[in-house]
Chains A and B, each alone.
Chain A
Amino acid sequence: MREPKNTIHILHSERAQTNVLVLDANSQRAVEYESLSELDPYLKRLNIFFTSTLAEARDLAKSKRPKIAIFPERLGELDFVSIQAELKNAHEKLKLIPLVGNPTLAQYRESKKIGGILDFAQPEALLTYQSIRDLIVFSVRELVQNSSLEKDFKTLESLQTALLVHSPFSKNYKQTSAIILSQLLPHFDLTGDEIAQTILAEKLYLPTLNEEHYASVLINTEYTLLLDLLTQTATWNKEHSKPGSTMGLIITASNYLSMMLEQNQTIQAIHEKFQERPSFLHHLSVRVIDRALMTQVIDSIHSTEMRKSA
């Protein structure tokens, strides 16, 4: 891995923009923990919202769309099952972590019916800042790591096969572009969601397709959100267009690199093409894919191919 001297690392990219909601009945402690969380380097780039009332928690769940909600066993007269139901109603895609010691069977059943209990944590977690911080870090890390793309991969792969049948590109080309993409992504300051979306969108990307093609493929699927990202990519066939975002550039560049490798172009030739800044690579992010990174990526592709042939 290249590591230029004095490099500055942008911190915790994958966790950036992740909102977490913590409900704590002790209002003074909630304010104190929220202040501490904002200074904590472990929680940098996460937004932790501490609140002590269910009404505010509901509002925050609606407006901030947190990914995780941590809440106590009881809040006034409400038990954790009721809190869970309220939060689920406010924001359905919320990972719920009640701080419950031993739930009763009835509570467990009721909770499951609501679609709630996925994880428990110890009720003592709110007693110290350190313990709630550890729980948040652990939960967010688990969330980022567990965002399994397996099911999505399979669905999109079948769509990809359908697209490839009607295109001049080979399956091998898309396999190589996916590997290149995975090597380029860690060099960009992208959030966990952005990385997942980019990996999925790349599955469908082909330089011959346009917005209408993607729309017709994605219609009536749960992946319509990918359409936005695919429209930010560029094409080098027929009409050249510009990438509309860093993610669009990464998808386009990894596919372009894959195609150049298929054509057995040298690193020098590929580098010169990138230096020309054709319109389909015209985005400031292309500067990140410098010669050193390009060489590193291409070498790893070659070594993978060598391993395969061996």
Chain B
Amino acid sequence: MNPSKKFNLIPGEKREKARSDYARASTLNGTIGTTEVTDVAILGISFGQVTLQIPEGIEISKALINDESSLSVSLKLNEDLIITGNWFITPVRKSNGHLILNLDHPEKDTVSALAPVLQGEHFMRADFMKVFAQGSTQGAEAISGIFTDLVDFGKRVPCNIFGEGKTTSTTFNFEARQKQLSEIYLVLPANFKLPILTPVIIEFKFLAVRYVFAATVLAYDQNFGILSVTPPSAIAALTTRRYDRTPCNIDAVLLRDNAHSTAVKITSISATGCEINLDGPLEAFANCDYALSIPRLDLQFPVALRDRRGQALGLSFADNQNHILEIRKLFNECVKPPNILRTPEHYPVFLELYKKVGYGPTPGDELWEEKTIAAWKHQDSVLPGNTIGTLMNGELINSFGILPIAQRTAGTHSLAMEKSIHSIGYFLELINHNLSNLDLIPHIQYYFGSVRTSSRFTSRLYTLFEHQSKPTLHETYFCLSVNPGPSQDSAPPLSYSINECFEHHEDDYPTLRFFDHVLSSEHELLKNIQFFNHFEIKNQSGTTVAFIKSLKMPTFYTAVNIFSVCFCFILSPEFSEQEALDLLTSSPHFSNQYIEIFRPDFEKSTTGVKTQRKVDEAFYFVFAKDEIGTLLANMHRAAWRILQKYGDAADPYLEKAIA
């Protein structure tokens, strides 16, 4: 039952190797319990178990290993978190100056019945999978909470049943309105019948989280057209998106060594856009070069075999670095977003929306439209489909874009929403589609977002980050956010001066250190129009009281102009936000830029500052790319809460919220 998959390389590295041309060292660094470890290698990954090799010199506390309690593990490969969470640790043997350890996941036995759908990788990161078990009060409450949400959702939530090699789709049925779900009712699927007491696995997706649980068939009730199954003893909640697939049906040709060709069909594409499944008369996949060609779209790119199940073949893109545009085109074609991509024929409706919500035109700039369109043309040529929107009755009601803002970081741009239920309802689709594209931007490791705390959606988002799903590599920073505007005439504080300087490093200030890391240099796709500059503010005695990281783009570059921003990090308690603001707003260096002021002790409620520009409290959040699933889950839940309050009017949009 338990698939014991062994990898010679750790999965992240395997994927990276498959799609990039540089190899990475397969050694991890981090902590096991309280012990710092380096040069750790993964020897194998199986269901709920990872085998590690650590240098013998590193002593993991014997008392802890022999203890029955689990140890906190955090292992990284460069910047990527590979293993997190609590694990039971068992030493296996010593070999060639190395110690071999087994890490066993504490929930391994609880979810053993889910082995057909869970992979070893699901266990490796605490934020990829959470297990709720009826055995604990907390787990039982969480399961009851999940089902209460399903009951209250207002629409039947779809689910899939896997059993005895058969898979079928159906929906939950809570119309009996039982208070205690001692049986779970599902709408009886056509042509689906398994013997009573057959073990099955039920999978459903709700608010961007995939839940799976094991159950047993209890009865078929033809009278009411229902199938009843046992309630779960444990539920696994998954936010990793690597295994999510979007079905599609696209004719393609598989070319071998540029000679033999086989007609195939692309049957699905992964949610991250980097893997596809094929179906067709495929001969044995030999160890040679393959390419996939899609004549209708005029696309061709190299592919590598991932796995094979019967007639179905799983492929990864072998060199997505150099074929990023082709892959994005294929992704957009497969996923077929219900919204419109920003392409030249749609530029006028995008312009109209931004005018409506107040993003343009820039005062006094008569050529705003022309300049904006020129900027979009450049963006859309380097990253097609980076911005999408929803068209309703000929008018655009919302828009959302993702673009690189630094070499390893991408962020949201052109986020605009009309204040209407339609706009929120369709917004989830935009988020779903566009965050998937994050994997298809070269070099990106982080997603970087900034939101004002005063809006309904973002305040919910922040609350969710703080109180619910907190991904491992997630950071939230509060700041004072000042809207762009021309330089103020008021006299700047004379006791301080601003000077340009080289990039700075301040080890004692984690926020600055982190911003330096994620915003280290310009992204190669936009390096001709994106510029980082660094400044320092000194007092009269020459002490540096603040550092400034300025990211400049042409003013018309994005509709929101959000990437033209000056991050000011106050170092000295004697330098106030008001002084920083007065200094920055009167300086020509930062005119027409957002000004974001951070200080180490900044809390949500700050004393008011006075300026002619609009000031808000805001927070920045940074996610590792592979934790986007958690971000999506939070965004969906935040939007669902707003939709719920609209009552019946929200019904047409609820189905979109499930996805």
Question: Which A positions have Cβ atoms within 8 angstroms of B?
Answer: 3-13, 16, 27-28, 31-32, 34-36, 38-39, 41, 44-45, 47, 49, 64, 186-190, 246, 277, 282, 284-285, 287-288
Among B629-649, those with CB < 8 Å from A are: 641, 644-645, 647
CB of B152 within 8 A of CB of A45, answer yes
B431-470 CB mask vs A (1 if < 8 Å, else 0) is 0000000000000000000000111100110111001100
Q: Which residues of A contact B178 (CB under 8 A)?
A: 10, 187-189, 285, 287-288
Cα-based distance from A284 to B644 in the complex (angstroms)? 26
**A31-B459, A64-B647, A189-B151 known; A9+B173 contact, CB < 8 A:** no
Cα-based distance from A10 to B453 in the complex (angstroms)? 33
Q: Which residues of A contact B184 (CB under 8 A)?
A: 8
CB of B641 within 8 A of CB of A38, answer yes
CB of B181 within 8 A of CB of A284, answer no
Cα-based distance from A49 to B647 in the complex (angstroms)? 12
Residue B224 CB within 8 A of the other chain: yes
| CB of B157, distance to nearest CB on chain A (Å) | 14
CB of A8 within 8 A of CB of B460, answer no
Q: Which residues of B contact A12 (CB under 8 A)?
A: 148
CB of A39 within 8 A of CB of B467, answer yes
CB of B223 within 8 A of CB of A31, answer no
CB of B148 within 8 A of CB of A11, answer yes
8 Å CB contact of A284 from B134, B151, B173, B233: B173
Chain B residue with Cβ nearest A47: B645
Cα-based distance from A9 to B185 in the complex (angstroms)? 14
8 Å CB contact of A44 from B145, B183, B231: B145
Additional pairs, 8, CB under 8 Å, beyond known A39-B467, A186-B179: A6-B134, A7-B180, A32-B453, A34-B459, A35-B641, A47-B644, A189-B178, A287-B228
Residue B112 CB within 8 A of the other chain: no
Cα-based distance from A246 to B178 in the complex (angstroms)? 9
B252-266 CB mask vs A (1 if < 8 Å, else 0) is 000000000000000
Cα-based distance from A56 to B70 in the complex (angstroms)? 52
Residue B147 CB within 8 A of the other chain: yes
Interface of B is mostly: mixed
Q: Which residues of A contact B182 (CB under 8 A)?
A: 4, 7
CB of A277 within 8 A of CB of B223, answer yes
**A8-B143, A28-B454, A284-B175 known; A35+B462 contact, CB < 8 A:** yes
Chain B residue with Cβ nearest A185: B179
Q: Which residues of A contact B468 (CB under 8 A)?
A: 39
Q: Which residues of B contact A28 (CB under 8 A)?
A: 453-454, 617
B558-593 CB mask vs A (1 if < 8 Å, else 0) is 000000000000000000000000000000000000
Among B491-523, those with CB < 8 Å from A are: none
Chain B residue with Cβ nearest A186: B179
| CB of B656, distance to nearest CB on chain A (Å) | 19
Can you list 18 A-B contacts with CB-CB less than 8 angstroms, sorted by A residue number? Answer: A4-B182, A6-B134, A8-B181, A9-B179, A10-B151, A10-B181, A13-B179, A28-B453, A34-B456, A35-B463, A36-B463, A39-B467, A187-B178, A189-B174, A189-B178, A284-B226, A287-B178, A288-B177
8 Å CB contact of A188 from B177, B221, B641: B177
Residue B381 CB within 8 A of the other chain: no
Cα-based distance from A287 to B141 in the complex (angstroms)? 24
CB of B148 within 8 A of CB of A44, answer yes
Residue B8 CB within 8 A of the other chain: no
**A4-B180, A188-B179 known; A10+B147 contact, CB < 8 A:** yes
Residue B249 CB within 8 A of the other chain: no
Chain B residue with Cβ nearest A13: B179
Q: Which residues of B contact A39 (CB under 8 A)?
A: 463-464, 467-468
Cα-based distance from A61 to B175 in the complex (angstroms)? 30
B460-494 CB mask vs A (1 if < 8 Å, else 0) is 10111001100000000000000000000000000
Q: Which residues of B contact A11 (CB under 8 A)?
A: 144-145, 148
Question: Which B positions have Cβ atoms within 8 angstroms of A?
Answer: 134, 140-141, 143-145, 147-148, 151-152, 173-185, 221, 223-224, 226, 228, 230-233, 453-456, 459-460, 462-464, 467-468, 617, 641, 644-645, 647
8 Å CB contact of B459 from A32, A188, A277: A32
CB of A10 within 8 A of CB of B645, answer no
| CB of A127, distance to nearest CB on chain B (Å) | 13
**A8-B147, A9-B144, A41-B141 known; A190+B462 contact, CB < 8 A:** no
**A35-B462, A39-B463, A187-B179 known; A8+B144 contact, CB < 8 A:** yes
CB of A6 within 8 A of CB of B232, answer yes
Cα-based distance from A188 to B175 in the complex (angstroms)? 11
Q: Which residues of A contact B173 (CB under 8 A)?
A: 284
Cα-based distance from A27 to B151 in the complex (angstroms)? 32
Chain A residue with Cβ nearest B638: A35
| CB of A276, distance to nearest CB on chain B (Å) | 10
Cα-based distance from A34 to B224 in the complex (angstroms)? 40
Q: Which residues of B contact A64 (CB under 8 A)?
A: 647
CB of A284 within 8 A of CB of B467, answer no
Residue of B151, B175, B182 ringed by the most chain A CB atoms within 10 A: B182
Chain A residue with Cβ nearest B455: A31
Cα-based distance from A199 to B409 in the complex (angstroms)? 60
CB of A36 within 8 A of CB of B179, answer no
Cα-based distance from A10 to B184 in the complex (angstroms)? 12
Cα-based distance from A47 to B152 in the complex (angstroms)? 12
| CB of B615, distance to nearest CB on chain A (Å) | 13
| CB of B159, distance to nearest CB on chain A (Å) | 15
CB of B233 within 8 A of CB of A6, answer yes
Cα-based distance from A4 to B181 in the complex (angstroms)? 9
| CB of A156, distance to nearest CB on chain B (Å) | 24
Q: Which residues of A contact B641 (CB under 8 A)?
A: 35, 38
| CB of A239, distance to nearest CB on chain B (Å) | 20
CB of B185 within 8 A of CB of A284, answer yes
**A189-B177, A285-B177 known; A35+B231 contact, CB < 8 A:** no
8 Å CB contact of A6 from B176, B230, B459, B645: B230
CB of A31 within 8 A of CB of B181, answer no
CB of B233 within 8 A of CB of A282, answer no
Q: Which residues of A contact B463 (CB under 8 A)?
A: 32, 35-36, 38-39
Q: Which residues of B contact A47 (CB under 8 A)?
A: 644-645
CB of A6 within 8 A of CB of B467, answer no
**A38-B460, A41-B145 known; A6+B231 contact, CB < 8 A:** yes
Q: Which residues of A contact B144 (CB under 8 A)?
A: 8-11
**A6-B230, A47-B645 known; A31+B180 contact, CB < 8 A:** no
Cα-based distance from A188 to B459 in the complex (angstroms)? 35
| CB of A65, distance to nearest CB on chain B (Å) | 10
Q: Which residues of B contact A38 (CB under 8 A)?
A: 460, 463, 641
CB of B180 within 8 A of CB of A8, answer yes
